Structure 1
Amino acid sequence: PANMSRTMHFGRDILSAPDVDLEDLLNALAPSEIESLVNEMAADPDDRHLPASVRTAYHCKKDATGPLNRDSLINFINEEGINTPEKEEAVKYEKGLKRGKVYVPKYDEATLALMKKNQEVAEAVRLDDDEEAALSEATTQDLMTLAEILDSNPQEFIMEAYADPLKYYEPDPPNTTNPKEAISKVVDNQRNSRSIDERDFCELFDGLRPKQLPREVAAVNCEINDFAISTLSLAIENNNTLKSINLESNRISPDTLASLFEAIASTTNGVIEIHVSNQAQSNMG
């Protein structure tokens, strides 16, 4: 289109410029000009892909005087720093004396108006010197007495943040579950089975196969392993009475959880709720 913007470079229209080969331009340059162009293009201090010696346009062309001796170089730098005389100061240092031009900050009108308003508020509430001295030596009881005289709330003159004694809460009773008794209840089709040791979980889960109870199994934070869960997967395939399973905070691997979900998906069981969150991080990958 006629109104298309034209690309300008150094004040010239590139689109209307004659076609010039880049190789011809480089061949027309002198070696020193090419070296200067390369150094200028490569001198990028922020390019982390370039070596440190290439990130600057300055390149030392002096010949090496010999192999690098690190200890000798460090000793030379230390001696050079010690033997170099200090520069004389135009104004000698004195404690508390500012040398040179003192910095004076500049503020806009809004900042100056705010500073003036804050100063007026500070002047309005400022007390006399004798009043400031009297209040600085007053105790908490003196301030409370003064508040009563002024008909004010004494609590406003003392620290409002204070420490209450800690409330005592009765600890949870110890777990009195007998694992062997719990297993026998499951095998005998009884209720009230709770968490047991890891070795007995296989026997516990295996006892769920033909039973009509329980309707809920909860084994939270019992360090159950994959082998026990595999036994549970086989047990719930034909158990249509068990409705809820809670196996949170255990050590079940993802593959074993997948097998458990496949067993729950079977149409021959009645599980409608399952909790398996917060498994061991090492087992979850």
Structure 2
Amino acid sequence: MTSKKLYGKDLKEFDDVDVDDLLTQLSAEELEILSKEVDPDDRFMPPDQRTNYHCEREPTGPVDRKQLIEHINKIALETPDQPENVPFVAGVVRGKKWIPPEAPVIATREDEGVSFNLEDEYEQALGTATEEELVDLAAILGFHSMMNQDQYHASLLNKGKVGLGWDGVTKASQPKALPFEPPNTTDPEQSILKVYDDDSKTIELCFNNINLTDDQFDRLFKALEINTRLEVLSLSNTGLTDRTAEKLAIALEKNATLRVINIETNQVSANGIVRLVKSLLVQKNIEEFRASNQLTAHVLGNKAEMDITQCIEQNTTLMRVGLFFEFNDARSRVANHLQKNIDRTLDSVSNLLSKKLYKKLVDFDDHFDDISQDWLNVTLKSMID
């Protein structure tokens, strides 16, 4: 990925700089210089602000509004009207009357002017057509309501006549029975003990669709505070509330290894979601956070969305967020910041791989030089002997 440069300087380091913060630090003179350098061709700006010239002279004296109005009226009365070249006469039109121009004549080709009358041939063709041909014609013309589903698909695949004609009844097909999803067999008590014991094999835990009690939530989040192995925790449809979400936020502030957290389809309010998003700023190790479809917070509201947006913009590691934003401002700002985090992560990974590859090439080159020197010594010794 090629980075943009200005006057030979790389502009990538200024991607995270807030423009509003920079503008607040400028003085009045610097803002005036900046406004002169910006393109003023903006139709949404007032006309007096589109030019660089501004009258900055001090007033020569006090303004008397009454005297100014009297002077304007006096000048208006004393100034004679401009003489008319053609005097006004009632009922006489002065000047030229506007006549619309004639429309240009488009030259037509010879074959375009020929008309055909095929009514008799149409009737003869439709009268002698078979039912298969009529079905195909109805499918081509888009008359889907005139045929059943089997006839329509048969006409598209050119399978010939299907069914009993126009009044044929389509045979009902038995729907394919799909197996239900198996229930979640995760043992909550055993999983909580593994988290508390910091089991090295317990990297991912899924409690989805398991109704956990408040006591189980408390013990799980207490164990999560001291755990250093768990990376993925899914708590979808587990009955999580604001009270237990507060303890989860405390655990997220202390845990430094968790990367993915999923609390979708629970009973967390908008304030609870804001609290959880703020807790991600302490360790900054969460890469994916999902909290949509809450029973008590279908719509977060403008204040909650703005708070969540500000917290996400301060997070440099979060790359995926599962939340529904109603307002376009929050939606676009979050999407842009997440894309920046993804690009930054990809750049760091590519730089790390480049350094490792360069180191391996250097080591291989040194090893090849040693082998070449040994081979040269052996060759010279054999020639001398």
Shorter-chain TM-score range: 0.3 to 0.5
Q: Which is helix-richer, 1 or 2? A: 2
Of structures 1 and 2, the one with the larger relative CO (CA 8 A, separation 6+) is 1
Q: TM-score, normalised by structure 2?
A: 0.34
Larger Rg belongs to:
1
Q: TM-score, normalised by structure 1?
A: 0.45
